Amino acid sequence: MSGAPTIESNGIELKAKLNPDFASVVSPEALELVAKLHRAFEPRRQELLKKRVELAKKLDAGQKLDFLPETKSIRDGAWKIAPVPKALETRRVELTGPVDAKMVINALNSGADSYMADFEDSNSPYWENIIQGQVNLKKAIRRDIELNLFGKEYKLNEKTATLIVRPRGWHLDEKHVLVDGQRVSGGIFDFAIFENTFLDSFLELAFVEVSTDSQSWARFPNESLSQHKTQTGSFGFTQPTKIHNLAGKYRHPYGTPFDLQDVAMMSNIRINEIRYVRIIDVVGSIDTLYAQRDSKNRIINDPWPTPFPSSGFDLDAVGVIHQAEFNNINTSLTQNTIPFYFHSESRTIHLRSNSTKNPANSRIENNLKIFNAAGQLCFLAEFKPDQTNNYQIEIPKFLSAGTYIARYNNYSIKIILTDNR
């Protein structure tokens, strides 16, 4: 094995060695997810572990188990769970076992309906066992897991059982990984590492729409050339080369690019004044009752075929490339193309009425509007034209530090205010 005994970054400490196979699953992105989940849930986990100890003492003293009084309304209420995913509808025969390569191959080939890969009771939880198990599952998902043992070859059949993964319980620690000086939950660690092992072909898709005013929306034209005769199941594969203009085409941490020129001919928006982006989950089911279609009316098939009208989509961020930003008073583009600009040091906006840029038959508004990041109007300044056609408007002091959009006629620019008021 190679690698330092302890690796530290962003409050994350890894007290174990990584060989190349191990590093392929215990990636920086996976550890970042471990840290994010730990910081979100560790206080609650410690609270529950404390209650667990207290309850054990009461039971030892003779107290009987019972339901919590505060959950009576749930037990008595009329409710039901969401429909079971297609891949889990049949579980008459289910195997469970450890995550060594031979077991994984044999269990998936067994003819059982499902195989629960067990990181807890069936598995001895030392570091090499846990991480090699994650490597084995990663290879099984890719269908490239193979084993030659005493001259006998093991590899996956064409048809395999549905894979279910059981992480360790919340009460168990993973002593080799610390976040902010605390051991992380073994269950959180197992989940995060497994979640980050999927292929580029494991895609969760969504439509993308943009708007100028949050009322009229333009959807990017999109295509899905994936087959739709057989439903892609959970953790199934979709080839990225068969997808165009759907968010989620590429796996984390790679984004999916969109070009506003694709919607330039749509009459309900102005591509130079886009202020809103909307992400809409693709249901992914090929059931015609719920199926969603691409721009050419083809059914979109993806690994999360939720059998109801809407679900969720995991989104990290929305980025903008080549966004217009003019904070320099001497910018030639500002002087020659944009009829106003922002001077950050003086917190003033300079406007210029230009008849060659604003012909007489266009609608000229003699006002300046400033919107916050949520699209709310924060400031409106009206002015009368004079002979010089030049105006200077001071940003009011009540506007706090942050990012805003200033709009004058058909032009918009981003302005960034600091606290030097």
How many domains are contained in the chain?
3
CA atoms of 323 and 344, how far apart (whole Å): 18
At 346-368, the pLDDT tens digits run: 888 887 665 444 444 344 457 78
Which one of 176, 195, 214 terminates a domain? Answer: 195
Query: Apex CA 59: angle with CA 57 and CA 65, to 5°?
Result: 140
Q: Are residues 179 and 205 both part of a single domain?
A: no
- The backbone region for 225, taken as left when phi is positive above 0, alpha when psi lies in -120 to 50, beta otherwise, is alpha
pLDDT at position 119 is 96
Residue 99 included in any domain: yes
At 49-83, the pLDDT tens digits run: 999 999 999 999 999 989 988 899 888 988 888 88
Q: 321 CB contacts (<8 Å, ≥6 apart)? A: 257
Q: What is the dihedral of CA 79, 84, 90, 94, to 10 degrees?
A: -90
| pTM for the full predicted model | 0.53
CA atoms of 14 and 56, how far apart (whole Å): 33
Q: Are residues 270 and 337 both part of a single domain?
A: no
Residue 325 included in any domain: no
Q: By the 8 A CB rule, do 217 and 268 touch?
A: yes
Domain span at residue 128 reads 7-195
Residue 367 included in any domain: yes
CA atoms of 163 and 235, how far apart (whole Å): 9
Which one of 291, 317, 343 terminates a domain? Answer: 317
Q: Are residues 250 and 213 both part of a single domain?
A: yes
How far apart, in Å, are the Cα atoms of 118 and each of 111, 171, 260, 366?
Answer: 18, 16, 47, 69
Q: Pick out the chain residues at pLDDT < 50.
A: 1-5, 325-336, 355-364, 421
Q: Are residues 284 and 371 both part of a single domain?
A: no
How far apart, in Å, are the Cα atoms of 115 and each of 98, 107, 131, 237?
Answer: 10, 6, 19, 19
pLDDT at position 82 is 82
Q: Are residues 206 and 342 both part of a single domain?
A: no
Q: Are residues 135 and 123 both part of a single domain?
A: yes
Q: Are residues 175 and 234 both part of a single domain?
A: no
Residue 2 included in any domain: no
Q: Are residues 236 and 173 both part of a single domain?
A: no
For 180-285, list the strands marked E by DSSP.
182-185, 206-211, 217-219, 223-224, 243-244, 276-281
